[in-house]
Amino acid sequence: MDFKKLLLLSSVAIGMAYPTITLANSKVVNLKMSWWGGDDRHKRTLEALKLFEEKHPNIKVRGEYGGWSGWQEKVTTQIIGNTAPDVMQINWNWIDLFSKDGTGFYDLNKLSDTITLSNYSADILEQCSVNGKLNAIPIGMTGKVFYINETTYTKAGLPVPKNFDEMISSAKVIREKLGNDYYAFDTDAYGALLLMLYKLEQETGKPFIIDNKVAYSEAEVVEAVKFYNNLVEQNVLPSLRVRAAAGFIPLDQHPSWIQGKYAGTYEWDSSAQKWQDALEGNQKLVLADFPTEFGPNKSAFNKVSMAFAIKKNTKHPKEAATLVEFLTTDPEAVKILGTSRGIPSNSSAVDTLEASGQLTGLTFEANNAVKDFAGKGIHPLFEHKKLNTDLRGVIESLGYGKSSVEQTAKDIISTTNQFLSENQ
């Protein structure tokens, strides 16, 4: 659909503010909804809203939508000025930004007679809750999975490894048969940290941050850093110094990934196609099992990708909830929206999309794996740009031999705790 048609559909479906009229003895309620995204998401959402109005003629929806750039600033101004839409597509960490005590958005637990909360796992709803108040409905969940280049392992006569012990033994064979520039796995500094946290959460059952401080002891973090360092020393993955020889470029653009010399990574479920497409020739990327040798707890890195929230003082909470339920559960609406906001976290929506053949391939397989092995989730500030940059620096100091294992563990804890204390 070209942009002119999109604008036409917009004017028909959501146009100007609707006058209040009476229809079949029922007063028409006017709602406003906002979202960001690209043209495909806009087109699909407008089509779903048109269907919603057909099925609920007493509710009219006016939409606000645009690209991501400047969107958070726009929403901030609206919330501060009490002009926010009744229904908002939000980033998950906006809950912490706008609702630190849980009162910044409408408590959706109060609308459970309209929104089917049983369609969502308790763990993912907990990530959208503050002080027992459900601030948003998770649209989707994303997380990190283990991808393996099956072609490289097959060349070395090896199966896909099931854990890190098998990865260590595979690394020796791969290098013997294919060359010393081949590695069984790879990750950058941030990925190295996530591997450490993967081990720690599986061992302890605790996420990285609890009550605004690192949840692990220094001794526990030391062992996690040793674990990563051992993978480097065993040539399972290249050191940061080795991988930087090609320049500081994303892994999917790294020549050694493209050629199959770096034969695995820990990356987002939603980016499966990107990693597959980067491989030259007929190389095949597959999903590996989550390693479980560290403890009994699930520990896949995961987070809510985005969510639907309702304005805290909306005049029409019931109707707003009806709209949220429709967009996330109604089979016709779900088919229209497809995966324009990622693979849904709503179990009913997943069933609908599977039945209609809209969920297939490695990305869907990876998303299911994340849901099945998801850890406790992350603190809203974990991905803050400054903390992210500072922690990368800590790991890079280790990778370039400027810091010891013990000092790295101390720095991970102190850097994180200091940032959290300054940004509560």
DSSP 3-state assignment of 421? helix
Residues 170 and 57 in one domain: no
Res 16: pLDDT: 35
Please report whether residue 370 resides in a domain.
no
Residues 151 and 58 in one domain: no
Res 254: pLDDT: 92
Residues 294 and 332 in one domain: no
How many domains are contained in the chain?
2
Res 89: pLDDT: 98
Alpha-carbon gap, residue 369 to 293, rounded angstroms = 17
Question: Which residues contact residue 177 at a Cβ distance below 8 angstroms, ignoring those fewer than 6 apart?
Answer: 155, 156, 157
Please report whether residue 371 resides in a domain.
no
Q: Which amino acid, residue 258?
A: I
Residues 58 and 116 in one domain: yes
Question: Which residues contact residue 270 at a Cβ distance below 8 angstroms, ignoring those fewer than 6 apart?
Answer: 142, 305, 342, 343, 363, 366, 367
Residues 42 and 99 in one domain: yes
Residue 111, number of CB atoms within 10 A of its CB: 20
CATH number at residue 54: 3.40.190.10
Res 196: pLDDT: 98
Question: In terms of residue numbers, what domain contains 267?
Answer: 143-301+376-422
**DSSP of 83-124:** ---SEEEE-TTHHHHH-TTS-SB--GGGGTTTS-GGGS-HHH
Residues 187 and 286 in one domain: yes
Please report whether residue 277 resides in a domain.
yes
- Residue linked to tokens 């409408």: 106
Residues of the chain with pLDDT under 70: 1-26
Res 26: pLDDT: 67
Q: Which amino acid, residue 1?
A: M
Handedness of CA 204, 205, 206, 207 (dihedral sign): positive
Residues 297 and 307 in one domain: no
Q: Give one word for 354, left, alpha or beta, with left for phi > 0 and alpha for psi -120 to 50.
A: alpha
Question: Which residues contact residue 182 at a Cβ distance below 8 angstroms, ignoring those fewer than 6 apart?
Answer: 152, 174, 175, 261, 263
Res 424: pLDDT: 78
Alpha-carbon gap, residue 231 to 145, rounded angstroms = 18
DSSP H helices, 14-162, are 39-55, 71-80, 94-98, 122-126, 150-155
Res 123: pLDDT: 84
